[in-house]
Amino acid sequence: MNAVLSISSLCKSFGTVKVADAISFDVPMGQSLGIIGPNGAGKTSLFNLITGTLRADSGSIKYQGIDVSTNNSATRCRAGIARSFQIPQPFTAMSVFENVLVGATQGAGLTQREAETVCLEILTQTGLVSRANDLAGALTLLERKRLELARALAANPKLLLLDEIAGGLTENECQSLVATINDIKSSGITIIWIEHIVHALLAVVDRLIVIDFGQMIADGKPKPIMNSRQVREIYMGLDADA
Amino acid sequence: MSARVTRSSRSSRAFAIIAGCAVVILIAAPWWAGRADMRLFSEIFLYLSLACLWNLLAGYAGLVSVGQQAFVGFGGYVLFGLAIFWGVSPLFALPIIAILGVLVAVPVAALIFRLRGAYFAIGTWVVAEIFRLLASQISALGGGSGTSLPVSVVKSIASSRATRESVVYWTALALAILVIITTVFVLRSRKGLALTAIRDNELAAGSLGVEIWQTKFIVYVLTAGLTSAIGALIFLQKIRITPDAAFSVNDWTAFVIFMVVIGGIGTLEGPIIGTLIFFVLRETLADLGTIYLMILGLVAIAIMLFAPKGVWGYVKSRYGIELFPITHRVKFEEE
């Protein structure tokens, strides 16, 4: 089987709130998967479970056929699972270049020399090269989102998780980000992308999963799912008879 | 357009030259400074070392320990124990003490690393108190009232008092240089980049492949080892040790925290500047008695209000200079 990620019966609760309720799905190599759902549906929690920021109550997470459920996030990152955070988490007192260098030396395990070259390439690719020497704390929102992406890429992922990376951006900013993500997709990296800005998402993904109250309620080709009555009711907040 | 990455800057190169000259002048101190000055300098070197290490611990690894006196006292007591029971020469004992400090820190870390934030801080203090109580139980080392280093051991360093004081002075200087070079070396390494990432954002660091627990553990035991060696040297200079002096939270942690916070926590330069400020204040105000401590408190409050990143944090954000070649700068060259 060529699934990069294989999740089965994944459960996680905080008290009485189930953020993941028996979630199961496989992600084949090279696929771009979009995840949508209302706020509080458990999308970011799912990312936290996949990356190891949270531990599941039950169920398994297999990455390239190996169960990684008990590994910490650092181990999973070095194995090839990298993420961007919904709320950017820059190393504020380090330069943009150094932020990316952390991903390249720690996540991808490159030597200092190799890492420097890779980081400059990634900064060029993500449009941050002119900001290389500036402190990450001084970046604008778009630049912070790009830095999230750049750092995750520097870790040399096989599976890239993007958490609302287009949220809060202007239309133009959003379009250029979509172009960058499409480049990453065509380089063969498997992508899972949580996004509320549906048109940005649909410009990239081949498959869509809908989550609500910790449960997967739809999974399939983006178009039919977006048009399905169930999704329109739950996700778009439309009335059943609309 | 091509680019290259450098770490040294004009300010760091200039500082290297100035620091080199300062070291030469300080090495020659026995020929130009008085006995009291040399004692003061040794004390400054030892506090400088403690401050640099606490900064690495709290400022970088986020391990806010208020129990480093555990290792200062441990080092002091082991020095006295080795000298009194086995006649080990004090200078030869220093590296042994550093290794023993590392070994003791391993189980301590395993225990207190279960605690987070404020609980960790209190935990380190509790450990230090346990160390103090244990030391006061060793009757061969004087129990609660402490003991002095035997004359024969003191004389084994050097027969004349002047030479002995010079040797202790040079050792303190060497130890301070060793600590500073070690921290520079650590922070320039891959682990140092990981450590700096932890300083800024633990969540992001973990998600980018940094082993948080392991990195903190290494920093903890490394600083424990070096702190023990410093403790040994502190009490070699004092020649007398008691549990209260050896495990004093005021002397070996509170003043050190003051220096690091005033100078600028989370920077290499901060603890050095902070130590100098502390000693300038102490030497000029010590005659005022308790008012001196009140002034220290006011200085601390003023810095926290007006320059919360400390003196060096303020200078750095204002002028963007650094004295040690740590950060990476990308230089773009037009082709």
Q: How far apart are the first and last CA of chain A?
A: 42
Answer yes or no: is pLDDT of A220 > 60: yes
Q: Which of B197, B209, B328 sits opposite A155 (nearest CB)?
A: B209
Residue B309 lies in a domain: no
A124 touches chain B (CB under 8 A): no
Residue B195 lies in a domain: yes
Mean local confidence (pLDDT), A158-169: 91
Question: How confident is the prediction for chain A on average, in pLDDT?
Answer: 90
pLDDT category at B143 given cuts 50, 70, 90 is confident
Tell me which of B59-68, B93-102, B230-239, B287-296 is least confident: B287-296
Residue B82 lies in a domain: yes
> A106 and B197: CB-CB below 8 Å?
yes
Q: Which of B200, B206, B211 sits opposite A94 (nearest CB)?
A: B200
Residue B310 lies in a domain: no
Residue B52 lies in a domain: yes
Residue of A nearest to B267 (CA): A93
Contacts of A116 in chain B (CB under 8 A): 5, 328
Strand partners, A26: A6
Contacts of B206 in chain A (CB under 8 A): 53, 72-74, 77
Question: How confident is the prediction for chain B on average, in pLDDT?
Answer: 91
Interface of A with B in 136-165 (CB under 8 A): 151-152, 154-155
**Which secondary-structure segment (H or E) carries B29?**
helix B29-32
Residue of B nearest to A89 (CA): B204
**Start and end residues for every CATH 3.40.50.300 domain found in chain A:** 1-80+157-242
Using a pLDDT cut of 70, give the percent of chain A over it.
96
Which of A181, A166, A195, A214 shows the shortest CA–CA distance to A41? A214
What are the backbone angles phi and psi of residue B309, rounded to the nearest 5°? Answer: -90, 10
Q: Which fold has domain A1-80+157-242?
A: Rossmann fold (3.40.50)
The predicted structure's pLDDT at residue B122? 95
Give how far Cα B209 sits from Cα of A126, A213, B30, Å: 21, 31, 49
Tell me which residues of chain B have a C-beta less than 8 Å from any C-beta of chain A: 3, 5, 190, 193-194, 196-197, 199-201, 203-212, 266, 327-330
Residue B239 lies in a domain: yes
Model pLDDT for residues B51-93, shown as the tens digit of each residue: 999 999 999 998 999 999 999 999 999 999 999 999 888 889 9
DSSP codes joined into one string, A129-164? GGGTTSBGGG--HHHHHHHHHHHHHHT--SEEEEES
- Helix (H) and strand (E) counts in chain B: 17, 4
* Total residue count of chain A as it appears in this document: 242
Which of B78, B68, B111, B101 shows the shortest CA–CA distance to B221? B101
ipTM of the complex, rounded to two decimals: 0.89
Please check whether residue A182 is in contact with residue A32, taking contact to mean a CB–CB distance below 8 angstroms: no
Domain that holds residue B119: 38-247
- Count the domains in chain B: 1
Strand partners, A34: A193, A208
The predicted structure's pLDDT at residue B198? 93
DSSP codes joined into one string, B222-288? HHHHHHHHHHHHHHHHH-EE-HHHHT-HIIIIIHHHHHHHHH-TTSSHHHHHHHHHHHHHHHHHGGG
pLDDT category at B33 given cuts 50, 70, 90 is confident
Residue B217 lies in a domain: yes
The predicted structure's pLDDT at residue A242? 42
Considering only residues A111 and B286, tell me which one the structure prediction assigns the higher pLDDT: A111
> B190 and A77: CB-CB below 8 Å?
no
The predicted structure's pLDDT at residue B133? 95
Distance of CA A96 to the CA centre of its chain: 20
pLDDT category at B1 given cuts 50, 70, 90 is low
Write out the two tokens for B214.
């392991």
Number of inter-chain CB pairs under 8 A, A vs B? 101
Tell me which of A117-126, B149-158, B190-199 is least confident: B149-158
**Which secondary-structure segment (H or E) carries A13?**
strand A3-14
